[in-house]
Amino acid sequence: MPELSGEDRVDVGNLYRALRSLEDEGLVTSEWSADLPGPTKRTYTLTDQGHELLGAWLRALEQLRDSLTTFLDRAEKGGDHVRTTKHTQDATAGSQP
């Protein structure tokens, strides 16, 4: 989980509250599984509705990524389509000898 969240520690209580909420909304189902080593564990599975919502989120994130990439590419190239503000001009002027 830390590799997904970018945090060293995961708040397991918040994680399970989120999973329960997703289950209440019909986006995941859960069942107890004794097949895994150790104590019985609850496993979660995306429902069809959960898969649809995940797909919509992925498409939205892809569009955002593409928009940000376009913006950054244009900003790096500069040109007439990039507006300069007084603040930008002052900062640039201050950095020149």
| Distances in whole angstroms, Cα of residue 75 to Cα of each of 3, 41, 53, 68 | 31, 50, 33, 10
Note the pTM of the prediction, 2 decimals.
0.63
Q: What is the per-residue pLDDT for 6?
A: 61
pLDDT computed for residue 13 by the predictor: 92
pLDDT mean for each 10 residues of the chain (97 residues)? 65 93 97 87 95 98 97 84 60 56
Task: Please state, in angstroms and rounded to a whole number, the distance separating the CA atoms of residues 17 and 45.
Answer: 15
pLDDT at 11: 87
